[in-house]
């Protein structure tokens, strides 16, 4: 089964879909065939999940596998209408992402155990996803060219995977600040994991998180997650003047729309500046 982009679903997505089907869809709608399913049936399911006190995001996620199944069935002529369309869902209020300023980022790294700094520095100064950090091998770190070659990701059950999209396979520049942390020890192979528990075992996220959180609490710093480090990287790149198209490439986004939707508000240009630019253009055009 393929996603909207025509790519196979990631194992983590399939696991989430299986959980949603077992926890929410099958108990209420498991006795129906897709061509028997109606929009009121789906709306009733959504309403029941809401009544259970689930978060808006959980409510939305509960019908995602059903949407995918109906979309596939509709494309193949197995149903004449998609009963998941037009269903009323609760609004998801996104929380503000935590972003560390340059001095705070440096302080967070300094507070860590020396053995943990390279991992968190790579998250902050190269913006790799957690799975990409887990799958990173020393052969992917090209110090001479000054780039990290992102070519794979890691799934806790499936192991090494291709990147989530073709854009995920990319070269990310290594700034000097990161290069100081990312030095290959002389006693490891180029095929070893950079941040592994062992040569052939990637790090456990919860273990490195717990160590970092303890270190930051002791130093009086607010904790940050590996995913928030990725947001920090985007913020730092924008502040440094990197354009949106380059940032899209370095982040591994499938389209520039994703980059602009997620980080557009961080790019320079206030309302006043925009008005001045438009006024100047109009004055010149109408002269």
Domain ranges of the chain: 1-94, 102-266
pLDDT at 274: 62
d(CA 135, CA 159): 9
Helix axes 256-263, 226-239, angle to 10 degrees: 90
d(CA 119, CA 196): 10
d(CA 154, CA 133): 8
pLDDT at 1: 65
Check whether 25 has a pLDDT greater than 70. Answer: yes
What is the b/e burial string over 237-265, where b = at least 16 CB atoms within 10 angstroms of the residue's CB? bbeeebebeebbbbbbbeeeeebeeebee
d(CA 189, CA 186): 8
Average the pLDDT over 233-245 and give the result: 91
d(CA 45, CA 41): 6
Q: pLDDT band for 272, please (50, 70, 90 cuts).
A: low
CATH superfamily of 102-266: Intergrase catalytic core (1.10.443.10)
Given the candidates 1.10.150.130, 2.60.40.10, 3.20.20.70, 3.40.50.2300, the CATH classification of the domain at 1-94 is 1.10.150.130
pLDDT at 96: 67
Q: pLDDT band for 265, please (50, 70, 90 cuts).
A: confident
Mean pLDDT, all residues of the chain: 89
pLDDT tens profile 90-142: 887 666 678 999 999 999 999 999 999 999 999 999 999 999 999 999 999 99
Q: pLDDT band for 287, please (50, 70, 90 cuts).
A: low
| Longest distance between any two alpha carbons in the chain, whole Å | 71
pLDDT at 214: 97
In this chain, the answer to whether the domains covering 1-94 and 102-266 adopt an identical fold is no
């Amino acid at each position: 089964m393929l996603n909207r982009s025509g790519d196979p679903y990631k194992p983590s997505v399939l696991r989430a879909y299986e959980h949603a089907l077992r926890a929410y869809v099958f108990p209420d709608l498991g006795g129906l065939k897709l061509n028997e399913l109606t929009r009121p049936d789906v709306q009733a399911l959504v309403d029941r999940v809401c009544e259970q006190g689930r978060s808006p995001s959980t409510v939305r996620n509960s019908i995602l596998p059903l949407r995918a199944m109906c979309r596939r069935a509709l494309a193949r002529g197995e149903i004449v209408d998609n009963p998941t369309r037009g269903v009323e869902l609760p609004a998801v209020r996104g929380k503000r992402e935590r972003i560390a300023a340059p001095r705070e980022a440096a302080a967070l790294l300094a507070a860590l155990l020396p053995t943990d700094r390279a991992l968190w520095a790579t998250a902050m100064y190269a913006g790799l996803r957690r799975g990409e950090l887990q799958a990173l091998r020393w052969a992917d770190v090209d110090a001479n060219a000054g780039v990290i070659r992102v070519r794979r990701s890691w799934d806790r059950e499936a192991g090494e995977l291709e990147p989530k999209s073709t854009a995920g396979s990319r070269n990310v520049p290594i700034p000097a600040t990161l290069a100081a942390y990312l030095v290959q020890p002389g006693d490891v192979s180029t095929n070893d994991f950079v941040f592994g528990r062992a040569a052939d075992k990637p790090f456990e996220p919860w273990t490195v998180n717990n160590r970092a959180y303890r270190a930051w609490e002791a130093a009086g710093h607010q904790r940050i997650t590996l995913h928030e480090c990725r947001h920090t990287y985007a913020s730092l790149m924008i502040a440094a003047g990197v354009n949106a198209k380059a940032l899209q490439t370095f982040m591994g986004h499938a389209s520039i729309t994703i980059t602009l939707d997620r980080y557009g508000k961080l790019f320079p240009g206030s309302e006043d500046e925009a008005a001045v630019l438009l006024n100047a253009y109009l004055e010149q055009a109408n002269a």
